[in-house]
Structure formats: C-alpha cells, structure tokens
Amino acid sequence: MKTRSMFHSLLCAVVAMLFLANCSGKKGDDHAHGHEGHDHHDSDAGQVQEASATQFQVDEKFQNQLGDVFTAYADLQEAFVSSDPAAVKEDATRVIDALAKVDMKLLTDAAHNDWMNYQKSMDDALNNIKGSEDIEEQRKSFSVLSDNLCKSAKAFGLGGEVAYYAYCPMAFNDAGGYWLSKNEKIRNPYFGDKMLTCGMVKEKLN
C-alpha cells in the first residue's frame, strides 16, 4: 500500500509539472503555488477553466452569510478528503442550510441575477450529493458546487474569510478539478488519501 501511495504521489507530481511546464510560456496575473514537490510557475487562465465573475459592491451582511456557506463547505471538503459518502451527505446538508440563510433581497439588479444563477447551480449540486451513495458521483457534483462558490466569492466577497482556490490536474481522468480551501496546504477532495497532496493553489481569494 505504501509503495502504491508513493507511486500515485510521484505520478501526480510529474503530471502537475508537465501541466505547469505547458503553461510557462503564457501570460497571467495569478500564480500557482506548488506543494509537495510541485514547482512554482505562472498560472495559465487559457490552459484551464478558472472561475471568473463580475465583482460587485454588496451589503456586508450578504458577504458574512456567504462566508458562513464557505465555512460549511470547508467541512464538506474535508468529508470528501476522508472519502466517506455518509459524512459527505451529512455535511452537504449543513451547506444547504447555510445557503438557505443567504438573503438575496440584499442584492439588486445584475448582482441579484448573477447570485440566482450561482445559487441554483449550488443547490442542484448539493441535492445531487445528498441523493447519491457513490463517492465518485458525489465528487462530480462537488466540482460544480466548488466552481459556483468560487464565482460567488469573487463576485461578492466572503465577509473577511480567506479562501484558497486549488486545482488538481489528475481529477476526473485528467480533465482536472478545482476546489476551495481555508488552508493553503493541499488536501485533495477528489482522491483523498490516495493522492492527498496532489494539486496546487491557483489563487488566493480575500
């Protein structure tokens, strides 16, 4: 088991370095922070689909409510790290509850419309997570949740919370997958202890 885990970690490191090497000739403002043997290179927004969103000035109450969603989401991310479908479903329920407390009446016009789109995508993803017993199917929905929560965080802010936007190039059969974390240290929700440190921080959100 230890040999297999070391092989997976080495394979992840090689793929990540090759991925970043392909990006090294591109221009970009963000920086990818390597972990566990990954090198530091400029990130490439053209190479992978990073979350982007129009930024709005919104009520601090809304930011704090969204920050509570992120806090619940962080527990869900750790449940995925543990690869426990039952714990994932339980923590997904907490994210649903936090999301339901976000008051969209605090937003107007374009901000309101964008939030409605993000919220629907997150609700659908969370309900899919709750309705599945398959950890890999749950992870697919978690990726959708993560993308839309990141867009929400960029658009509205998290009430002072700091989030790290991380990327694993090997998730979903090398299609790649993103997630948010409260910590800069990589703890991969798509592989768990199979390849716990596979990934890199693409952006710091605050």
* CB-CB neighbours of 166 under 10 Å: 27
Q: Where are the alpha helices (DSSP H) in 24-134?
A: 60-81, 85-100, 109-130
Task: Give the pLDDT confidence score for residue 52 in this predicted structure.
Answer: 63
Cα gap 166→199, rounded to integer Å: 7
Task: Give the pLDDT confidence score for residue 12 in this predicted structure.
Answer: 61
Contacts of 9 (CB under 8 A, 6+ apart): 36, 37, 195, 197, 198
Cα gap 9→65, rounded to integer Å: 37
Residue 34, classed as helix, strand or coil, is strand
Task: Give the pLDDT confidence score for residue 3 in this predicted structure.
Answer: 46
Residue range 79-137, pLDDT digits in tens? 999 999 999 999 999 999 999 999 999 999 999 999 999 999 999 999 999 999 999 99
Domain of residue 123 covers: 2-205
Task: Give the pLDDT confidence score for residue 38 in this predicted structure.
Answer: 39
Residue range 159-196, pLDDT digits in tens? 999 999 999 999 999 999 999 999 999 999 999 999 99
**How many domains does one find in the chain?**
1
pLDDT band for position 198 (50/70/90)? very high
Distances (CA, A) of 44 to 101, 127, 167, 176, 184: 35, 32, 12, 14, 19
Task: Give the pLDDT confidence score for residue 206 in this predicted structure.
Answer: 79
Residue range 53-74, pLDDT digits in tens? 789 999 999 999 999 999 999 9
Residue range 23-53, pLDDT digits in tens? 333 333 333 444 443 333 333 333 344 566 7
- pTM (2 decimals)? 0.79
Query: Of residues 201 and 12, which shows the higher confidence score?
Result: 201
